[in-house]
Chains A and B, each alone.
Chain A
């Protein structure tokens, strides 16, 4: 078993335990650790944001297409501003590319006015209808047959990996106890506490917040609820070579259906182009394999939307699981008698809404009797390494290289990751425990060669920085 990081025992007893360190769990932990509370965060996987969060489409949504009046609509709308501001403070790369929703059939075209009204009802007033001429002027590589579109200038790209890590880093620096690789296998109720039975022993917690994502319905069941069932919805994605980036400078969306937002084409903050996701309901909560049908479906969509994309090389193919439920809205609720909160049914909008969700559930906990004052001794926010292409990276910075030559030693050529950045990742508050973790902190190995050139050297550095005593890098999967 990989030792979790940060190391050290969990205390026997805490005020609040957050189950799950995805992007939302980490945001909740960060918010709670601003209060005068002993906070624990337990995560079954070996990294922060290592399940649903890492395979997100990584878009900071305006919420223009949410269902008006829902909790999701309110929290996405509020979360957009909160995360945007936070991103600037801690250095999460965000690029406001804007989006255009493209109608390919008369039926889709007929839906655009209603979508524009929905956007307004969601408080988003920047959208505008555009004709095909404007579409082809803005995205010349768009496939033939587009009839019209709706612009959403506020839609932005964001790095979902850095977001989850920033929240968790700040929570840990505020004193939260983060335990990775720690699975909660059951619980028992006592008068004053809930005792969580984990793979690392028992943890008594006065309050429990369930942000367990794909397992949130199971945890909810332990508290006697049958509110929702999670059906893992697999989303397969293709990431194209950076050389495709000139084909598309904004997010190209389809007209949404009841199944979700559909297959989009979007640049990424790392300078690639993404095509996906599929939406395919599964039984297995761990199955993140890609499939022949999924990949060929994506190619078919891509051929319509941006045919020239298919001439480019694929850099990565991966799949993520969204915790879809039978409900159309988030399920966020506090049970004061059990001192238990659930944050479930969080869809792909959860990345955008994460900080607003955290604020919302924290307020609800305080209302329900969680007794804590805001701390006055909080450390400042962390500064995260920049993984984005639109901000200077170490290999481009003469000043940084002059002080430390290891920022001039490029190890991963395709992504231009330096030895200095890899070293820094291991010295960070939440160091990586796998090559996958290193990828998400530095981008090393994420490029077009997929390790042909640098794979061996990155593995050597991984082993060296783990001090030889650490685990061998168990996984190399991309996200």
Chain B
């Protein structure tokens, strides 16, 4: 990789810069560096690449991309090894502190400062769970409140201890992952609390989870107050329907899910962001609004499973190559948008373009459960497609919509409107 200097920073010029060494970034790196022999640099701010699966110490990873079932840490390890074997350079412990397609990335590492200018950049910075303050839950600020990310980091990577009696806020897939971690840490779950009328995750899993883990799932409730000056003592729960409140004793609270994409760089780089999800708006080739800028993984759909993020990484390789070979062909960001109507919260890809997105699915999020959803796609008053789907739409997890419903959409037309209807 050629180097030079740009002020106090050393200039590095790979063909492709990938920001974020999680499943999406590492998979894109493997494909671009391996089969296509491109010079790829992955910049990862954690001390080890691998992303969130590094600290998800349970099975269920790799099904869709590697066609096998692995634990989180071994899945992460395989992705790193595969990218390295393919010839990608991975910088661990390197933090991108600013990025724009025009000026490249500024990177801080223990070896010094670097400026990375690349022909193409793939942002794969992922998503995080919304913190307790960001959820504006009032009350005291004691020790004992975690996100799942912090909890799993503490328990699996640092073998730290948490409390003895936990309340889990949220009933998404990740919430059950938190329950498993708590059990391993010797902490009882006294309740799982969700504001939704029924748990967000698949009913089968919920039933299974309830049997295996033996704790009550309290639906239709909000946490309205945190109590405990030094150590957490209780949370106050409110029944959303009746307004009735009660205290639930606990010394640990895990606030789970409620994902926000990590868009600091995307935003400073001037990318168009979805008004609701705040994710970069991409088209089916995962191209952002800025020429040479791509986005993949849970940054653009907060959040789907790790293997789905990895398949974004595989998908983005071809458009990246096309751009490197013909930098000039970039669609105008002015084209038709895909607009989600409530109870759909957001949908990705959000821009209409020829071709199908990863796995030929549009990914979306709903705010209320629909057991047998009927999806209707229209453009300029014309129905492009309507279909009853065989899977429910439920809050707390991605609702996948087959992309062939969008096949007739024209980038030159008006906004494409997506609606979902049906019985709860």
Contacts and interface: CB of A to CB of B under 8 A. Distances in A.
Interface of A: 238, 242-243, 286, 288-292, 294-295, 313-318, 395-396, 398-399, 401-402, 405-406, 408-410, 413, 416, 448-453, 455-457, 459-460, 473-478
Interface string B359-375: 00000000000000000
A399 B264 contact: no
A287 to B, nearest CB: 8
Contacts of A318: 141
7 contacts: A292-B225, A317-B138, A408-B108, A409-B93, A410-B108, A449-B147, A456-B153
A317 B112 contact: no
B139 A450 contact: no
Interface in B118-139: 128-134, 136, 138-139
B150 A455 contact: yes
B9 A476 contact: no
B109 interface: yes
Nearest to A419: B110
A475 B230 contact: yes
B113 A286 contact: no
B153 A457 contact: yes
B143 A410 contact: no
Nearest to B229: A286
A456 B138 contact: no
B149 interface: yes
Contacts of B133: 314-317, 450, 478
Given A315-B134, A452-B150, A402 B112 contact: yes
Interface stretch (B154-162, B212-220, B289-297, B348-356): B154-162
A459 B153 CA distance: 11
A292 B224 contact: yes
A375 B256 CA distance: 58
Contacts of A416: 95, 97, 108
B45 A408 contact: no
Contacts of B8: 398-399
Nearest to B46: A453
A346 B109 CA distance: 45
Interface string B316-348: 000000000000000000000000000000000
A397 to B, nearest CB: 8
Contacts of B95: 395, 410, 413, 416
B302 to A, nearest CB: 13
A291 B139 CA distance: 6
A291 B140 CA distance: 9
A44 to B, nearest CB: 14
B39 interface: no
Nearest to A455: B150
Given A295-B136, A316-B133, 20 more contacts: A243-B264, A286-B229, A289-B138, A289-B226, A313-B134, A317-B133, A318-B141, A398-B9, A401-B111, A416-B108, A450-B132, A450-B147, A452-B129, A453-B46, A453-B153, A456-B150, A459-B158, A473-B143, A475-B143, A476-B141
Given A288-B141, A455-B154, A456-B150, A406 B134 contact: no
A112 to B, nearest CB: 33
| Central interface residue in B95, B111, B142, by most chain A CB within 10 Å | B95
B260 interface: yes
B418 to A, nearest CB: 23
B267 interface: yes
Contacts of A451: 131, 146-147, 150
A401 B134 CA distance: 33
Interface in B55-113: 93, 95, 97, 108-113
Contacts of B225: 292
A354 B67 CA distance: 66
A409 B110 contact: yes
A462 to B, nearest CB: 11
A456 B134 contact: no
B97 A396 contact: yes
A309 B141 CA distance: 24
A460 B138 contact: no
Contacts of B134: 313-315, 448, 450
| Central interface residue in A318, A473, A477, by most chain B CB within 10 Å | A477
Contacts of B93: 409-410
Contacts of B129: 452
A448 B132 CA distance: 11
Contacts of B97: 395-396, 416
Nearest to B144: A476
Contact of A456 (B109, B157, B229): B157
Nearest to B156: A456
Nearest to A450: B131
B154 A456 contact: yes
| Central interface residue in B45, B138, B139, by most chain A CB within 10 Å | B138
Contact of B160 (A289, A313, A399, A456): A456
B129 to A, nearest CB: 6
A459 to B, nearest CB: 7
Nearest to A410: B95
A277 B404 CA distance: 52
B143 A398 contact: no
Nearest to A406: B110
A289 B267 contact: no
A395 B46 CA distance: 15
Contacts of B109: 408-409
A402 B8 CA distance: 11
B147 A408 contact: no
A64 B358 CA distance: 60
Contacts of A459: 154, 158, 160
B134 to A, nearest CB: 5
A292 B222 CA distance: 13
Contacts of B154: 455-456, 459
A453 B148 CA distance: 10
Contacts of A395: 95, 97, 108
Name the 3 nearest CB pairs between A and B, nearest first.
A405-B110, A456-B153, A398-B8
| Central interface residue in A295, A409, A478, by most chain B CB within 10 Å | A409
A289 B139 contact: yes
A302 to B, nearest CB: 12
Interface in B161-183: none
| Central interface residue in B108, B111, B142, B264, by most chain A CB within 10 Å | B108
A410 B97 CA distance: 10
Contact of B112 (A401, A450, A455): A401
Contact of B45 (A243, A291, A399, A410): A410
A104 B8 CA distance: 48
Given A409-B110, A476-B143, A317 B128 contact: no
B265 to A, nearest CB: 11
A457 B154 CA distance: 8
Contact of A455 (B111, B153, B226, B229): B153
A401 B109 CA distance: 8
A459 B158 CA distance: 9
Contacts of B229: 286
A413 B131 CA distance: 15
A193 B140 CA distance: 41
A399 to B, nearest CB: 7
Contacts of B226: 289
Interface string B39-51: 0000001100000
A398 B109 CA distance: 10
B255 to A, nearest CB: 10
Nearest to A298: B136
Contacts of A317: 133, 136, 138
Contacts of A408: 108-113
A289 B139 CA distance: 5
B113 A295 contact: no
A451 B141 CA distance: 14
B278 to A, nearest CB: 9
Nearest to A291: B138
B198 to A, nearest CB: 26
